[in-house]
Amino acid sequence: MGIESALGDGYFTTKIDSLTNWARSNAAWPMPMGLACCAIEMMAFAGPKYDAARFGSEVMRFSPRQSDVMIVAGWVNYKMSHAIRRIWDQMPDPKWCIAMGACASTGGMHRCYGVVQGCDNFLPVDAYVSGCPPRPDALLHALMKIQDKIRTEHSVMLDT
Amino acid sequence: MNLELSENLRNVVDQLSEQFSDALIDIYKSTGDTFIRVEPDHIVDICKELKEEYHFIYLADILGTDRFTSDERFEVIYNLVSLRDRERLFLKVWLEEENPTVDSVTEVWESANWHERQVYDMFGVTFNNHPDMRRIYMPEDFDYYPLRKEFPLLGIPGSIELPSSTPDTE
C-alpha cells in the first residue's frame, strides 16, 4: 500500500509517534522513591522473581537525570515532599509517576498533620496502586498501565 | 505509705522523701511501675541525686502529656532505669498552661537533649538551660504544637508549605 510498494522489500513505514512510543514504553527506567515499607515490595518488583526486566524497567536509576518513571513508594511527609518535588523537577521530560500503595495515594493510615494526604497534592500522578503494601505484581500492573498510556500518546506535534 | 516496692526502690523512695520532703508531691504505683510526682523546681537536684547515689544512669525517655485540665495542664515524665539494680522509676512534673517551663536535665544525662527537644516540639514545653532548644520534627517556622489536645488531627490547612507544582527554573 502506498509508499511501501515503491520502496521494495526490506522497508516498512510507520508513524514517528509509534516508533518513539514503542521505544519509550519499553525502556521506562524507574526512579525509586522508596520512603517506607512499599519500597521493599518495589525491590522485589525489580528482583528475579517478578523481574521488571521483562518490561525494560530493570534499570533503577538513582539519578533523576536518567529516569522516566518515578515510583513514590511509601508515605510522604511534608518535609520530604520538597525533596521529592525537587527530584521530580530534575527528571527530564517526558516523565511519568506511580503512587505506590495507600500512603502515597491517599495518606493511607497516616491520617495526621505530618503526612501529605496523597502525593498527588504536589506531583502529577499517572497510576495509583492500591494495597498496603501492594504486591510486586500490582506494581508491575501499574507499570503496564503506564506503558499503555505511553503507547497511545501523541508525542510529536502535528503540522497544521 | 503502703506501696509494694522492691527493697531497693523502697530504700530509694524513703531516702528521697527524707531528703526532698518539700519537693515530693505524690508517690504511687501504676501498671507495675513506680511513679513519683515532684515539684518542677527541684527536678534537676532530684535527678542528680538519683543518678549519682542510686545508679539511675540510664535516662530511657522523656515524655510530655497534655492533661487538658485548667490548671497544671502539661506533664513531663522522666523514665529512669537502673541497669545494675534492674529497676525502673518514673518522675513526673506538672506545669502550668501559660508558659510551661522546667529546668533541663541535660547536665545530668546528655541524652536528655533530644528527648527534651521532642517534648518542646510537640507540646511547647520549654526547658531552661537547654543547649539547643530547637524543633526536631516539625519545620522551624511551624507555629503550632501538634500533640496539644486542641490541635486538629489532620493539622491546620496551609500551616505547612507544600512544594510548588510549577518546576524550578534554576
Owning domain of residue A107: 30-152
State yes or no: pLDDT of B1 exceeds 60.
Answer: no
Q: What is the CATH number of the domain that holds B16?
A: 3.30.460.80
What DSSP character marks residue A75? -
Is the pTM higher than 0.95? The answer reads no
CB A84 within 8 A of CB A72: yes
Q: Does residue A18 form part of some domain?
A: no
State yes or no: pLDDT of B91 exceeds 90.
Answer: yes
**Closest residue on chain B to A84 (Cα):** B163
Q: Does residue A15 form part of some domain?
A: no
Q: What is the CATH number of the domain that holds A73?
A: 3.40.50.12280
A33 shares contact with chain B (CB less than 8 Å): no
Q: Does residue B72 form part of some domain?
A: yes
At B115 the pLDDT is 95
Q: Which residues of A53-79 are buried (b: 16+ CB within 10 A; e: fewer)?
A: eebbbeebeeebeebbbbbbbbbbbbe
Q: Does residue A157 form part of some domain?
A: no
Inter-chain touch A113–B153, beta carbons under 8 Å: yes
From the annotation, which residues of A make up the binding site for [4Fe-4S] cluster? 37-38, 103, 132
- Contacting residues for A121 by C-beta, under 8 A, at least 6 apart: A81, B162
Inter-chain touch A113–B152, beta carbons under 8 Å: yes
* Mean pLDDT (10-residue bins), chain A, 160 residues: 75 84 91 91 91 88 90 91 92 91 91 90 92 92 93 73
Inter-chain touch B153–A89, beta carbons under 8 Å: no
Inter-chain touch B167–A117, beta carbons under 8 Å: no
- Number of folded domains that form chain A: 1
Instruction: Quote the percentage of chain B above a pLDDT of 90.
Output: 61
Residue B36's nearest CA partner among B85, B94, B82, B86 is B94
Candidates B144, B147, B154, B166, partner chain A, best to mutate (most A CBs within 10 A): B154
| Angle of helix A16-25 versus helix A136-151 axis, rounded to 10 | 170
Contacts of B160 in chain A (CB under 8 A): 78, 113
A112 shares contact with chain B (CB less than 8 Å): yes
A115 shares contact with chain B (CB less than 8 Å): no
Cis, bond preceding B152 (omega within 30 deg of 0): no
A79, A86, A123 member nearest B168 (Cβ): A86
Confidence band, pLDDT 50/70/90 cuts, at residue B168: low
Size of interface A-B (CB pairs under 8 A): 42
CA–CA dist B42, B19 (Å, integer): 11
At B167 the pLDDT is 63
**Closest residue on chain A to B160 (Cα):** A78
At A128 the pLDDT is 95
B138, B146, B162 member nearest A81 (Cβ): B162
B124 shares contact with chain A (CB less than 8 Å): no
State the smallest CA–CA distance between residue A72 and chain B in angstroms: 15
At B2 the pLDDT is 65
- Contacting residues for B53 by C-beta, under 8 A, at least 6 apart: B15
CB B78 within 8 A of CB B59: yes
Q: Does residue B61 form part of some domain?
A: yes
Q: Does residue A10 form part of some domain?
A: no
Inter-chain touch A86–B162, beta carbons under 8 Å: no
Amino acid at A86: R
ipTM metric? 0.72
Over residues B92-116, the pLDDT tens digits come to: 999 999 999 999 999 999 999 999 9
At B104 the pLDDT is 94
At B24 the pLDDT is 87
**Closest residue on chain B to A91 (Cα):** B167
CA–CA dist B158, A116 (Å, integer): 11
Inter-chain touch B154–A111, beta carbons under 8 Å: yes
Residue B102's nearest CA partner among B86, B91, B110, B89 is B91
- Number of folded domains that form chain B: 1
Length of chain B, in residues: 170
What are the grid coordinates assigned to B139, written together?
Answer: 519545620
Owning domain of residue B72: 7-97
At A84 the pLDDT is 92
Over residues B28-70, the pLDDT tens digits come to: 998 889 999 999 999 999 999 999 999 999 999 999 999 999 8
